[in-house]
Amino acid sequence: MTRLITASIMIALSFLYAATARGAEQPDRPNILFIVSDDHGWGDLPSNWDKTEVKLPTLDALASGGVRFPNYHTEPLCGPSRACMFTGQYSMENGMWRGPGTQPIGSPGYRGIKRDVKMLSEHLAEAGYKTGAFGKWHMGSLEGEVPNDRGFDEFRGFLGGAHSYWLTDKSKIMHNRKPDRPEGHATELFTQWAEDFIRDSVAKDDPFFCYLAYNAVHGPLRTQQSQKASAPDAWVDKALERGVSFLRSDYVAILEHMDHNIGQLIDLLDDLGIAENTLVVFASDNGGCTMEEATAGGRFPGNNGPFRGGKATSYQGGLNVPFLINWKGQLPQGMVSDAQAMHVDVFSTLMDATNITVPKMSGKNPVRGMSLLPHMLSSGKKTIPERTMIFELWGNIGLRKGNYKLWSKIESSNADWKEHVAELKRTDLELFDLSQDIAEQNDLRTKLPKVYSSLKTELIDYFANINAEYPGGESPEVKPKGNPKSKKSPPVPEPKSRSQEQFFKNRDRDADGVVTLEEFIGNPKDRNVPALTKRFKKIDSNGDGKLSLEELKQAK
């Protein structure tokens, strides 16, 4: 009898401990406010990097009242990064191996989230959540890809990769599936739409998932005196008055304006009495653009802190970005975790928080994300197991495991993973120890041959085992034309009959409305790069380093 009583007490205590570890009062279906900034570098989150002149009091308060992950990694481009957060899979697996395209599903080179991969919004909608997306989508604009096809009850924003901040009757804004013509500043309108959605959900007593994707701080931004500022004048003036340089003033103002608007939503949660029942997640989609990096997104004065590279590169400046989670009354306050978290963990964490089972597979590839909740609820006592993180964009490859990082840029720009394997086998990658060399300057490949060999083998094995099939269509792999025995594919000429609009659309890889020199050249292999560079500079009539469609049309 004594043993039976003791056993009963032990069982009861174990249940009590489990409830305490997970939060005895944790709601079964908390609301979710998921906020994403755009091209927002690690160094422009003040709680990450005190050397920035940006002031973000709302995000600082969310960080000090919640959990900040300065070691969070993502894909270095908008569309793939968002797809990873919404699927829990790497971009090489979920189908968004590059920004979304216009090719129909089943065609070679199709880029879009696979139809048999269920997105976070679809899971939450099935669980009874009211779902709303506001701002930038950039996860597909074809039938089956838009927000209302992927679990969202309401969508109001734009489908592409970039948009002017000042909305007019000519703006490409959608409300659900129809064109919308609101006027005003994008940051303020996106915030207002999110507020209306939250108020309506609370009034109807519906748990909500509000996805608020600002275009701040993506271009277009003012970098020259002749340009109009994208931020409201009052915010630019504030920056200039305290000594921010002209080059950075619009950039800083856009971020601070965004932070102010986020603050309005955080105040709303308190006013509605739902702050303790609302999980707030903030992340940037990828690293910031810099004036030095001639990469996708244009030349803008972003700040990636101590890291090398920026947007569209697989150096840490492109991968390591702001990320924090706040859940009033549930998560520790002021916790700073050095754990290596990444984009796919957003999916698993939000699924776990809403008591939805995280699937092991989605489509024909595994779910890679880990829930960060146990780690946060235990104040870091429950560690996140060491794992290998792999990133890829246009042949820019990064692998991180512990403190070690493999990096390479291979001659492969399409989702032909077999080609990646072949290229990796004959390529000498670089090996960095990030604990000693955060700026990725010292290649240790020859000094640490065993570490190098082990990580390279793991990287090759990963690409060799990706299932690239799309349901109802072909593999997205783009096969080289010509003699299959030839190692060198012939150059593909531009069709003479193709319109300038189509040429511009094809070259504008990140859909930001301008074409950079790198985009204009395309794959430099077998191209006359000096001649193309000379032509680019001739067409670039205002000398700003990027082509508009009008400049292209005016060129002879």
Residues 69, 131 within the same domain: yes
Q: What is the mean pLDDT of residues 423-437?
A: 97
When the pLDDT of each residue in the chain is averaged and rounded to a whole number, the result is: 88
Lowest-confidence pick of 150-154, 429-433, 529-533? 529-533
**Domain annotation covers residue 21:** no
**Domain annotation covers residue 237:** yes
Residues 322, 175 within the same domain: yes
Q: What is the mean pLDDT of residues 236-254?
A: 98
Residues 281, 402 within the same domain: no
**253-305 per-position pLDDT tens digit:** 999 999 999 999 999 999 999 999 999 999 999 999 999 866 677 899 999 99
**Domain annotation covers residue 9:** no
Residues 302, 333 within the same domain: yes
Residues 253, 323 within the same domain: yes
Residues 437, 326 within the same domain: no
Place of tokens 């246009």: 394
**Domain annotation covers residue 446:** yes
Q: How sure is the predictor about 473, in pLDDT bands with cuts at 50, 70 and 90?
A: low
Residue 4 pLDDT > 50, yes or no?
no
What percent of the chain shows pLDDT beyond 70?
86
Return the structure tokens found at 349: 């964490």
Domain count, the chain: 3
**30-44 per-position pLDDT tens digit:** 999 999 999 999 999
**112-132 per-position pLDDT tens digit:** 999 999 999 999 999 999 999
**Domain annotation covers residue 15:** no
Q: What is the mean pLDDT of residues 168-196?
A: 96
What pLDDT is stored for residue 154 in this prediction? 98
Q: How sure is the predictor about 474, in pLDDT bands with cuts at 50, 70 and 90?
A: low
Judged by DSSP in three states, 45 sits in coil
What pLDDT is stored for residue 168 in this prediction? 94
What pLDDT is stored for residue 475 in this prediction? 59
Q: Buried b vs exposed e over 140-158: b needs ≥16 C-beta within 10 Å?
A: bbbeebbbebbbbbbbbbb
**Domain annotation covers residue 271:** yes
**215-227 per-position pLDDT tens digit:** 999 999 999 999 9
Residue 477 pLDDT > 70, yes or no?
no
Closest CA to 534 of 520, 551, 513: 520
Residue 538 pLDDT > 70, yes or no?
yes
Which uninterrupted H or E stretch holds 211? Answer: strand 208-213
**Domain annotation covers residue 486:** no
What pLDDT is stored for residue 502 in this prediction? 57
**Domain annotation covers residue 492:** no
Residue 251 pLDDT > 60, yes or no?
yes
Strands 130-136 vs 208-213: parallel, antiparallel or unpaired: parallel
Residue 211 pLDDT > 50, yes or no?
yes
* Cα–Cα distances in angstroms (integers) from residue 535 to residues 38, 303, 538, in the given order: 31, 31, 5
Residues 362, 424 within the same domain: no
Residues 206, 310 within the same domain: yes
Give the domain-ending residue among 325, 345, 377.
377
Residues 346, 395 within the same domain: no
What pLDDT is stored for residue 297 in this prediction? 77
Q: Choose between 520 and 434: higher pLDDT.
A: 434
Q: What is the mean pLDDT of residues 453-477?
A: 87
Q: How sure is the predictor about 20, in pLDDT bands with cuts at 50, 70 and 90?
A: very low
Q: What count of other Cβ atoms lies within 10 Å of the Cβ of residue 195?
A: 17
Q: What is the CATH number of the domain that holds 540?
A: 1.10.238.10
Q: Choose between 456 and 540: higher pLDDT.
A: 456
Which uninterrupted H or E stretch holds 405? Answer: strand 404-409
What pLDDT is stored for residue 5 in this prediction? 41
Residues 250, 346 within the same domain: yes
**503-522 per-position pLDDT tens digit:** 676 677 666 778 888 778 76
Residues 430, 537 within the same domain: no
Q: What is the CATH number of the domain that holds 132?
A: 3.40.720.10
Give the domain-ending residue among 349, 377, 405.
377
CB-side exposure of 373: number of CA atoms within 13 Å?
20
Judged by DSSP in three states, 20 sits in helix
What pLDDT is stored for residue 280 in this prediction? 98
What pLDDT is stored for residue 471 in this prediction? 83
Residue 184 pLDDT > 90, yes or no?
yes
Return the structure tokens found at 370: 């880990």
Q: What is the mean pLDDT of residues 141-165?
A: 97
> How many helices (H) does the chain have, and how many strands (E)?
17, 22
Distance linking the first and last C-alpha atoms of the chain: 96
Judged by DSSP in three states, 120 sits in helix
What pLDDT is stored for residue 78 in this prediction? 97
Residue 438, domain extent: 388-464
Q: What is the mean pLDDT of residues 101-117?
A: 90
**291-339 per-position pLDDT tens digit:** 986 667 789 999 999 999 999 999 999 999 999 999 999 999 999 999 9
Q: How sure is the predictor about 14, in pLDDT bands with cuts at 50, 70 and 90?
A: very low
Give the domain-ending residue among 355, 377, 399.
377
Q: What is the mean pLDDT of residues 166-194?
A: 96
Residues 341, 414 within the same domain: no
Lowest-confidence pick of 56-70, 358-372, 397-411, 413-427? 413-427
Closest CA to 321 of 344, 342, 300, 337: 342
Residue 494 pLDDT > 50, yes or no?
no
Give CA–CA dist 182/190, Å, rounded: 11
Task: Tell me if the bond preceding 220 is cis, omega within 30° of 0.
Answer: yes
* Contact assessment for residue 324 and residue 349, using Cβ atoms and an 8 Å cutoff: no
